[in-house]
């Protein structure tokens, strides 16, 4: 069984294993089992469609955290060229949990900022699991203001469980760094497009999340706190995370209905980790479409639209 299979995917994995054994037996023994294999493949496809069309909020959370899910750099190398990473906040140091730099998308210059998680233990330590310190947000703001001067649209790729809550982070004023970003991002005069590709956790996500357009991948989530954290506060029991995920309305479709996001970007059946190229193609098309529309607005219209977008969040009909 695949070590990266999620619990709810076990019936699919069992069918895949059965198909693989049948194909191996057919090849080794010269027995024609094409009809049986075709039948099992159809059963697998039907089960897969049924399963992924009816995922629970908690199952989507586990997909958002899938260890093989594409991270920011996986998308950047597929949607952009000439990515030139720029480092440092010019005040303290460089935070590897947030990356940023100029790039081109189909020849058009943009500034890309992103949380970057680690694929293996060494990189996870380097990237601090995608949890940024204050210098990460100050670097992000420096680069956004540089993009503003260069008249380059800003693309923010969000994937973090939250800002780093440790002592060092507090000593360097993580709350102030995020608050300043929230304020200053409203003053940018270029289009700002944000995409949640995995986890969108609290202020850590919002620190680079003030966009004219905010999108989310189909199996990502965006929330003020993790489901386990919510369960720990409400019920003093983090194991009730699945129950909290249901109540919090943090999945892509819920967020679209609530007006928190503007578009849900389709993923390959089974999740973005199934086919990086398809996921990246869909993300690129959405980003280009939103930038194209936003580029028609004047500087003041962009600022006003961004301000009004966030002011109306939470309004009831």
Beta strands in the chain (DSSP E): 81-85, 98-105, 108-115, 154-160, 192-201, 213-217, 221-223, 263-265
Tell me how far apart the alpha carbons of residues 26 and 20 are, in angstroms, rounded to a whole number.
Answer: 10
Tell me how far apart the alpha carbons of residues 132 and 138 are, in angstroms, rounded to a whole number.
Answer: 10
Tell me how far apart the alpha carbons of residues 14 and 7 are, in angstroms, rounded to a whole number.
Answer: 12
Report CA-CA distances (Å) from 95 to 84, 103, 122, 212, 248. Answer: 16, 20, 15, 26, 31
Residue 317 is predicted with a pLDDT of 47
Tell me how far apart the alpha carbons of residues 13 and 6 are, in angstroms, rounded to a whole number.
Answer: 9
CATH architecture for segment(s) 61-311: Alpha-Beta Complex (3.90)
Residue owning tokens 């923010």 = 156
* Nearest CA among 190, 196, 307 for reference residue 261: 196
Residue 1 is predicted with a pLDDT of 46
Q: What region, left, alpha or beta, does residue 210 occupy, with left being phi > 0 and alpha being psi -120 to 50 degrees?
A: beta
DSSP conformation class of 225: S
CB 275 within 8 Å of CB 268: yes
Q: What 3-state class would DSSP assign to 265?
A: strand
Please state the length of the chain: 317
Tell me how far apart the alpha carbons of residues 31 and 37 are, in angstroms, rounded to a whole number.
Answer: 12
Residue 95 is predicted with a pLDDT of 96
- In the chain the first and final C-alpha atoms are separated, in Å, by 49
Residue 197 is predicted with a pLDDT of 98
Please list the rounded mean pLDDT of every run of 10 residues in the chain (317 residues): 71 81 81 81 81 90 94 97 96 96 97 96 95 97 98 98 94 96 97 97 94 97 94 94 94 94 95 96 98 97 96 75
């Amino acid at each position: 069984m695949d070590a990266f299979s999620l619990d709810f995917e076990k019936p699919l994995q069992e069918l895949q294993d059965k198909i693989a054994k049948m194909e191996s037996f057919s090849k080794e023994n010269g027995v024609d089992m094409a009809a049986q294999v075709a039948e099992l493949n159809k059963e697998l496809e039907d089960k897969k469609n049924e399963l992924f069309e009816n995922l629970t909020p908690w199952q989507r959370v586990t997909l958002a955290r899938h260890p093989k899910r594409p991270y920011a750099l996986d998308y950047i190398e597929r949607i952009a060229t000439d990515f030139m990473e720029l480092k440092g906040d010019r005040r303290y140091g460089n935070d590897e949990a947030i990356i940023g730099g100029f790039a081109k998308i189909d020849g058009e210059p943009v500034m890309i900022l992103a949380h970057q998680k680690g694929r293996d233990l060494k990189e996870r330590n380097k990237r601090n699991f995608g949890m940024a310190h204050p210098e990460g947000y100050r670097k992000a703001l420096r680069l956004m203001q540089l993009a503003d001067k260069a008249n380059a649209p800003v693309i923010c790729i969000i994937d973090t469980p939250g800002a780093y809550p440790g002592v060092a982070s507090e000593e360097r004023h993580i709350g102030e760094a995020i608050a300043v970003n929230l304020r200053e991002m409203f003053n940018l005069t270029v289009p700002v497009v944000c995409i949640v590709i995995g986890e969108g956790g609290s202020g850590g996500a919002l620190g680079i999340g003030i966009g004219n357009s905010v999108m989310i991948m189909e199996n990502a989530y965006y929330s003020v706190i993790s489901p386990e954290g919510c369960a720990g506060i409400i019920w003093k029991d983090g194991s009730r995370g699945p129950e909290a995920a249901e109540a919090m309305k943090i999945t892509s479709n819920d967020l679209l209905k609530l007006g928190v996001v503007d578009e849900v970007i389709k993923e390959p059946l089974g999740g973005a980790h199934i086919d990086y190229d398809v996921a990246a193609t869909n993300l690129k098309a959405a980003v280009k479409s939103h930038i194209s529309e936003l580029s028609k607005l004047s500087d003041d219209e962009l600022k006003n639209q961004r301000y009004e977008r966030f002011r109306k969040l939470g309004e009831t009909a």
